[in-house]
């Protein structure tokens, strides 16, 4: 009699197979939701670095202009990426050897650590009505949300000293670059392929 009572009380305390399957299913659904959120977070975090650095460059250019009345031409071209190195998923130390390193030091832009993106910043004054002096941004981008390439668009054409800041990176090393671009005449930062 006692063994029968023990079996019945043990059966009341135990989980059935159906209950266990329901719990496992719920855990699976929660894990899937967590992965989606994690991927969104990682995509947003990946684009946060270039946005912060671009804002730092923008602030440094405005400080330089306040003193010198023109913006500092830091890079020799819009694809002269600083810091030196290949655009991939590896971080590179800010500084080091680069043909434009002296100009970057003069602009006094710093970062908290190594960076994954490459940065370029050119500057000048309007010449012959061509706005940005015939500059073209990095090729291979659709400029999907703009009527045309931003440096050719008349709405962004400067009437005085100007700068263009561009950042590019290839976080997943697939040959497709994430590109961020802003100018002295744009209030925000345009980006494309931010989840590449």
> 24-42 pLDDT, tens per residue?
999 999 999 999 888 777 7
Percent of the residues in the chain that have a pLDDT greater than 70, as a whole number? 80
Contact 53, 167 (CB under 8 A): yes
The C-alpha angle 71, 72, 73, rounded to 5 degrees, equals 115
CA 81 – CA 79 distance, rounded (Å): 5
Closest-CA residue to 179 (of 187, 190, 188, 171): 190
CA 26 – CA 21 distance, rounded (Å): 9
Question: Looking at residue 84, what is its pLDDT?
Answer: 82
The top-scoring range by mean pLDDT among 23-32, 107-116, 118-127, 185-194 is 23-32
Stated length of the chain: 196
pTM confidence score = 0.74
């Amino acid at each position: 009699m006692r063994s029968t009572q023990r079996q019945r009380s043990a059966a009341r305390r135990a989980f059935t197979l159906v209950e266990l399957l329901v719990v496992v299913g719920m855990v699976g659904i929660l894990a899937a939701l967590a992965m989606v959120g994690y991927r969104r977070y990682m995509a947003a975090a990946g684009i946060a670095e270039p946005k912060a650095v671009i804002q730092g460059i923008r602030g440094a250019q405005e400080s330089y202009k306040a003193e010198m009345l023109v913006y500092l031409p830091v890079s020799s071209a819009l694809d002269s990426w600083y810091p030196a190195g290949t655009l991939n998923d590896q971080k590179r130390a800010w500084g080091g050897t680069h043909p434009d390193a002296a100009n970057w030091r003069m602009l006094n832009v710093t970062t908290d650590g190594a960076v994954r993106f490459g940065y370029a910043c050119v500057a000048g004054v309007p010449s012959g009505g061509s706005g940005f002096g015939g500059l073209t941004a990095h090729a291979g981008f659709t400029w999907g949300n703009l009527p045309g390439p931003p440096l050719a668009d008349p709405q962004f054409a400067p009437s005085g000293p100007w700068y263009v800041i561009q950042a590019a990176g290839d976080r997943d090393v697939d040959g497709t670059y994430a590109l961020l671009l802003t100018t002295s005449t744009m209030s925000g930062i345009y980006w494309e392929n931010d989840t590449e």
